[in-house]
Amino acid sequence: MAYQSFREYALGTAKIGIGLGVVSVLARWVTGNTIFASPEALIKYGIFGGIGYALMGALALAAFGWVGRKVRRTYPEGETIGDFFRLKLNRTGYWVMIAILLTISVEGMFMQGMAGGLLLNILFDVPISLGMLAFFLFCVVYAGFGGIVVIHRIAFFQVIIVFVAAILIPLYFFIEKGVEHVYAGIRLYHPYLLVTNNHEGLFFIVTGLLIGCGQVFVDQASWQRLYMVETRNVVPTFLLSGLIWSTIPLAFSAMIMIVIFTGGFQNIYSLLFDLIRKIDSFPLLILFVLSAFLAVTSAFGAGIHSLISLIVGNVYPLFKPEAGEKQKIRMGYMLALAIGLLSFVLTFLLEPTLLELLFFFGIIYAALIVPVLVIVFSKGKTGNAIPFCALLGLTAGYASRVELSHMNAIWVSAIVSAAAVLAYEGGKVLRHRVQYRKR
């Protein structure tokens, strides 16, 4: 795809409406996490885990529409989250936030790459390392080199396939097996999934909301889509996206119930293999394979494209301020290869589960919520102390992991960050009052 400017590569040539906006947002957020982590949450935390995962994304996307409306009114000409931070922050605070954004970008690349490799291994018995390599090469070519136009072309196809699979596959099994038999099997083999006074499951729901809001509020791909959508359509686009997205993790959780109602299982990844074996209809099997692969590739593609846009738009000019549009596009292509290689190396060397990875980076997301809201809604420049409040919160969160659980550490991170912001803002108010009285 030949682009005339880097802005065209990053955002396209025209603003998009609600329909394409919803498709683009869903293509970003129907991810490998939805396929792997939502069933894992169901197994680990019971029915509240599946519901909590759905609520996490739905409410976070809806809330981001409200935040995004303020962003567009404040700075309508932006391209990336980095552009907005450059407007609202001083130099030191700006680079602190850019460093944090680059760090959490690794998480997105890692999670989708890991999901892609596992998916190819489960579906085609390809070695995970070889599957990840093929997955990264494909994503680098279509998203890194193709740009936003190619991403949107695939997004339509991906969203349609995923929703057809999410509706037809559970419906087929529940009609064939009978809802009563599935429910009876769950009660017999896995009664813990149906416990309604599961306090850990309820805690997962509220913690998931915290992680989800932080993740969406600083997601570079979501900010790009925010700048693609017409200003008047920002709130309805993200609200509809959240409502529609919530059905996907619930559908995949229902698919997992179809697998486990007849007995036990080895681990969370074996469940997908068992699901594939249970799909005895060849058209439905093809539908599931396509939906799973498209979900993972589109999410990784959106992530790598947004990371390229952030680096070229906000970091590269620091080293080469005179760079022209063609040079920026070439740099974007080189970054696509470099990011793909880095993602492959990380996923090859490390092997956490997707839910563990979500909790690990959830500490950063939780620490960023209040500082980002202050940056967005404050008038004028925001002091350097606000980004450092986020650093303080995430440092406290990771330090507390030695003694506390993953979810408790996430709350420590959020509380410390919020308390630091409140102390700083409260100090500013007191100083203004003292100065006013002196006059």
Tokens 């885990």 found at: 49
**The two three-digit tokens of residue 314, written as one number:** 């906000």
**The two three-digit tokens of residue 340, written as one number:** 């793909």
In a domain, 158, yes or no: yes
Q: List C-alpha distances in Å: 137 to 21, 143, 342.
A: 27, 10, 12
| Burial track 5-36 (b if 16+ CB lie within 10 A, e otherwise) | ebbbbbbbeeebebebbbbbbbbbbbbbbbbb
φ, ψ of residue 404 to 5 degrees: the values are -110, 165
- Measured distance CA(41)–CA(360) in Å, rounded: 15
pLDDT tens-place string over residues 393-407: 999 999 999 898 889
In a domain, 95, yes or no: yes
Q: List C-alpha distances in Å: 428 to 96, 103, 384, 394, 432.
A: 21, 30, 13, 23, 6
In a domain, 409, yes or no: no
In a domain, 407, yes or no: no
Question: Which CATH number covers residue 125?
Answer: 1.20.1730.10
Q: Among candidates 211, 266, 203, which has minimal Cα distance to 43?
A: 266
- Measured distance CA(228)–CA(248) in Å, rounded: 24
Q: What is the DSSP string of 176-213?
A: HH-HHHHHHHHHHH-GGGG-S--HHHHHHHHHHHHHHH
pTM over 0.85: yes
In a domain, 168, yes or no: yes
- Number of folded domains that form the chain: 1
CB of 313 closer than 8 Å to CB of 79: yes
Helix-, strand-, coil-residue percentages of the chain, each rounded to 5: 85, 0, 15
CB of 155 closer than 8 Å to CB of 23: yes
In a domain, 135, yes or no: yes
pLDDT tens-place string over residues 14-45: 678 888 899 889 988 987 777 777 777 888 88
In a domain, 419, yes or no: no
Query: Packing angle between helix 91-124 and helix 385-400, nearest 10 degrees?
Result: 40
Reduced to 3 states (helix: H, G, I; strand: E, B; else coil), residue 339 is: helix
Q: What is the DSSP string of 340-397?
A: HHHHHHHHHH----HHHHHHHHHHHHHHHHHHHHHHHHSSSPBPTHHHHHHHHHHHHH
Q: What is the DSSP string of 126-146?
A: --HHHHHHHHHHHHIIIIIIT
The CA dihedral of 134, 135, 137, 141, to the nearest 10 degrees, is 140
**The two three-digit tokens of residue 350, written as one number:** 């490390």
Q: List C-alpha distances in Å: 416 to 184, 230, 423, 430.
A: 45, 36, 10, 21
In a domain, 181, yes or no: yes
**The two three-digit tokens of residue 186, written as one number:** 């769950």
Cα-Cα end-to-end distance for the chain = 63
**The two three-digit tokens of residue 185, written as one number:** 């099997």
Per-residue pLDDT of the chain (439 residues; tens, 9 = 90+): 677 788 888 887 767 888 889 988 998 898 777 777 777 788 888 888 888 888 888 999 999 999 999 999 999 888 899 999 999 999 999 999 999 998 888 777 777 777 777 777 777 777 777 777 888 888 888 888 888 888 888 888 888 898 898 888 888 888 887 888 888 888 888 888 887 777 888 888 889 889 989 999 999 999 999 999 988 999 999 999 999 999 888 888 888 888 888 877 776 667 777 787 788 888 888 888 888 888 888 888 888 888 899 999 888 988 888 888 889 989 999 998 888 888 888 777 776 666 778 888 899 999 999 999 999 999 888 989 999 999 999 999 999 998 988 899 999 999 999 999 999 988 887 887 777 676 6
Determine the structural domain holding residue 157 and report its residue range: 6-353
